[in-house]
Amino acid sequence: MRYSLLCMLVLSCNTAFSTINITKHPSWSLLEQNNCGNSNSDRIIGGKNASLGAYPWIARIGYSKPNTNGLSYRCGGTIINRQYLVTAAHCVVNLPENFKVGGVRLGEHNILTNPDCEQGYCAEPVQDFLPESVIVHENYNKPEFKNDIAIIRLNKPVIYNEHVKPICMMNGELLNKNFVGETAEIAGWGIFDINDPKPSTILQTVKLPIVKMDGCIMAFRRYAEVSEDQQMCVGGVPGHDSCNGDSGGPLMQVNSLNGPPKYYFIGIVSFGTKSCEYRSPRDQCTVDSQVGTCINARDCTLVSNILQQSREQAIDYLRRNHCGFEGSNPLVCCVNSASISTRPSGVETNPGSTSDPSWNSESSPSPIENFQIDLANNPLLSNNCGRDLSQRIVGGERTDLDEFPWMALVEYQKPNGRTTACGGVLISKRYVLTAAHCVKGKDLPANWRLSSVRLGEYNTDTERDCVPDGENSEICADDPITVGVEEQIAHENYRPTSRDQRYDIALLRLSHDVPFTRYIQPICLPSNSSLGGKLFVAGWGKTETSSASNIKLKLALPLAEKSLCDQTYVSAGVRLGLGQICAGGQRGKDSCRGDSGGPLMALERIADGTGKWTAVGVVSFGPSPCGMQGWPGVYTKVSDFVPWILNNMSNKSKIKFTILTTNDKEVNIHKGVILLLRTTIYA
């Protein structure tokens, strides 16, 4: 049985308010606490329809987008007085492109009816409002996922009635209370039935235990730093959780504080376990007829327990129950474990329209730090990769005729012909590495079809590429070749509509092996997580003087400080992850549109005086216009995805390779089977 956990932003703090009487705050009177927290239902139920008027402070937050009628309701909120409601910060910032908070609805119960009626009694019609202003906590996401709270000021006062009224705010002894071991309630229109993963049309409620933070700290340790000072851990009950559409909604508890029992606002739904209690095909797996979850092998307590008793049994378990990769991390089907994904950067379900894109923000891959992959003599790859015969390192000028022979142009078939819109890089006789957005990006026209790859190209305007060699002679390259694409493999976690563009990596399997020549060679994949010193990009993208270059260009770029790059893009509503790196940031120097999917390369000098080029990044996205001062380009970090690349290549063959980590453990991969061992095992 899979157990769910939620991380709530807690509205009290045991230390900050220990000596403060919050009721003396000058704004306390604005909360109208004499008429708060009164439910029209005395029933406390779990996972069922709430009775009409049970939670009259619940708000629905609607979102608008261009060329779409009506609002898409995706978040919850809580009324605290006639002018304000509280929600999660992730419900109002870093929204998908063109989405904005468009309205707030109060007094809702059944989203299909207005007014709502129950057993012959009808409530007042719903009340709709516009957001006059939105106030986000100034330290939201500092550190990540913390201070997930915002206030929305409505454009007009709320009219209180039996089905629209505020919740009570904690004060006095409640501010210092430890709620662990007690139960609380959540409500919303999200998914509550794991067997029916559809949003509810009627307000749902469920009662959940508040548990020790240890559970959330363990469950979310790879994604967020969870702490008791701002957050509380709720759940652990099989089949019960708040889910999509409930983000920003309240965690509530009935308390008697200087009067009759009332509902008090004690937390805000922030993030929780992946897909709530609904198991996607990848999440759901079985071990000896027991239902398990596909998670990082290192997070599986069952594996740890088996390993303490018998290494041989642990090896056997890992061999039989490997279920995929996440970034560079092997996954294993683990019984009694929880898989998680973050929920904070968008809210995931639209009860009104299932056709809207998901707002899920997938977490970044968690790389094996300082890993080393033994790629020598790997039959999937060429040992003669990435060789550089030029001693010149330059930036912002034409390449030599035979420079960067691994560069590829990705071609698309249009109704009126063929065009190139992306770059790529040859990594073997059969595979080209590119960006996932070049395969399934939201900006690709619907009538375009990725059809082929052009290799050995230099000048796109000439049939045969030649350069002068002295006064009366020239050197000409072999003719470029066009190879059909047999299969497109975008990373399974890539989301085209995500502003963050994580997992922006893809493989193109060619229709046949390509012959290596002086002008067609593969680049090397990184064998460790080091990025080297100077970095380079090359391609046919936009320049300062024309819409695109007909000649292959190259440019030297500095590696940008990741923390500074993160801060720069946060200001634009983009949250970068671990599987992304930044380079550039100098005015007029950047990879640009047309170079998407192309490589960010590092040159390593070797003993014979030549160099070896490695693809350390894939061009993902950057500022518009290109080459803005202080705005580096963003690249997918290839080293984090080498296991994913090799695993997808090896699916077509029977290949073994090894990952070596600094803790002297080996991850041995054979036909997709992962073994975390201290000695090499040949499956």
pLDDT averaged over the chain?
Answer: 72
Answer whether the bond into residue 131 is a cis peptide, omega within 30°.
no
Extract the tokens encoding 292. Answer: 């398990």
Band of pLDDT at residue 679, cut at 50, 70 and 90: very low
Extract the tokens encoding 356. Answer: 């809207």
Q: Report the C-alpha gap between 216 and 236 in whole angstroms.
A: 10
Decide: 184 and 210 in contact? Cβ < 8 Å.
Answer: yes
The answer to which of 30-39, 401-410, 505-514 has the lowest mean pLDDT is 30-39
In 285-398, alpha helices (H)? 301-309, 311-321
As assigned by CATH, the class of the 30-269 domain is mainly beta
Checking if the pLDDT of 582 tops 60, the result is: yes
Per residue, what are the HEC states of 385-434? CCEECCCCCCCCEECCCCCCCCEEEEEEEECCEEEEEEEEEECCCCEEEE
Decide: 247 and 268 in contact? Cβ < 8 Å.
Answer: no
Q: Report the C-alpha gap between 521 and 544 in whole angstroms.
A: 29
Checking if the pLDDT of 663 tops 60, the result is: no
Helices 311-321 and 301-309, axial angle in degrees (round to 10): 140
Band of pLDDT at residue 284, cut at 50, 70 and 90: very low
Band of pLDDT at residue 78, cut at 50, 70 and 90: very high
Extract the tokens encoding 213. Answer: 């933070």
Is 596 an active-site residue? Answer: yes
Identify the active-site residue in 388, 504, 566, 640.
504
Decide: 478 and 518 in contact? Cβ < 8 Å.
Answer: yes
Average pLDDT score over residue span 380-390: 57
More confident residue, 355 or 428: 428
Checking if the pLDDT of 111 tops 90, the result is: no
pTM: 0.44
Q: Report the C-alpha gap between 173 and 103 in whole angstroms.
A: 35
Is 437 an active-site residue? Answer: yes
DSSP letters for 99-154: -EEEEEEES-SBTT-SS-EETTEEPPPPEEE-EEEEEE-TTTTSSTT-S--EEEEE
Predicted local distance difference test score (pLDDT) of residue 590: 54
**Farthest-apart Cα atoms in the chain, separation:** 100
Q: Report the C-alpha gap between 122 and 577 in whole angstroms.
A: 49
Length of the chain in residues, anyone? 683
% of the chain surpassing 70 pLDDT: 61
Predicted local distance difference test score (pLDDT) of residue 49: 64
Q: Report the C-alpha gap between 197 and 16 in whole angstroms.
A: 40
Q: Report the C-alpha gap between 254 and 248 in whole angstroms.
A: 19
Identity of residue 78: T
Identity of residue 457: E
Predicted local distance difference test score (pLDDT) of residue 376: 54
Question: What fold characterizes domain 397-463+477-648?
Answer: Thrombin, subunit H (2.40.10)
Q: What are phi and psi of 143, to 5 degrees?
A: -75, 180
Same fold, 30-269 and 397-463+477-648: yes
Domain map (residue ranges) of the chain: 30-269, 284-334, 397-463+477-648
Predicted local distance difference test score (pLDDT) of residue 444: 87
More confident residue, 155 or 336: 155
**Residues 294-314: pLDDT tens digits?**
777 777 777 766 666 666 666
**Residues 177-221: pLDDT tens digits?**
888 888 888 888 875 444 444 567 888 888 888 888 776 776 666
Cα→Cα distances 247→59, 570, 624, 628, Å: 11, 21, 32, 36
Average pLDDT score over residue span 24-46: 60
Residue in the structure block whose two tokens are 């309630």: 185
Q: What are phi and psi of 298, to 5 degrees?
A: -70, -20
Residue in the structure block whose two tokens are 């070749």: 481
Predicted local distance difference test score (pLDDT) of residue 669: 31
More confident residue, 272 or 117: 117
Average pLDDT score over residue span 421-448: 91
Predicted local distance difference test score (pLDDT) of residue 487: 94
Predicted local distance difference test score (pLDDT) of residue 379: 58
DSSP letters for 523-566: PBPPSBS---S-EEEEES---SSSSS-SB-EEEEEPBPPHHHHH
More confident residue, 450 or 310: 450
The answer to which of 337-341, 362-366, 382-386, 515-519 has the lowest mean pLDDT is 337-341
DSSP letters for 477-526: PPPPEEEEEEEEEE-TT--TT-SS-TT--EEEEESSPPPPBTTB-PPBPP
Q: Report the C-alpha gap between 214 and 5 in whole angstroms.
A: 11
More confident residue, 404 or 322: 404
Identity of residue 532: G
Q: Report the C-alpha gap between 602 and 537 in whole angstroms.
A: 9
Identify the active-site residue in 437, 452, 500, 590.
437
Residue 552: CA atoms inside 13 Å, Cβ hemisphere, count?
26
Average pLDDT score over residue span 48-56: 76
Extract the tokens encoding 53. Answer: 């008027």
Extract the tokens encoding 241. Answer: 């959780």
Q: Report the C-alpha gap between 142 and 538 in whole angstroms.
A: 36
H or E stretch at 62: strand 58-64
Checking if the pLDDT of 644 tops 50, the result is: yes
Predicted local distance difference test score (pLDDT) of residue 523: 92
Q: 3-class DSSP state for residue 30? A: helix
**Residues 603-636: pLDDT tens digits?**
877 666 667 889 999 999 887 656 677 788 899 9
H or E stretch at 567: helix 562-570
Average pLDDT score over residue span 132-149: 84
Number of other residues whose CB lies within 10 A of the CB of residue 372 = 16
Average pLDDT score over residue span 561-582: 88
Average pLDDT score over residue span 401-426: 88
More confident residue, 460 or 481: 481
Q: Report the C-alpha gap between 272 and 275 in whole angstroms.
A: 9
Identify the active-site residue in 382, 452, 596, 639.
596
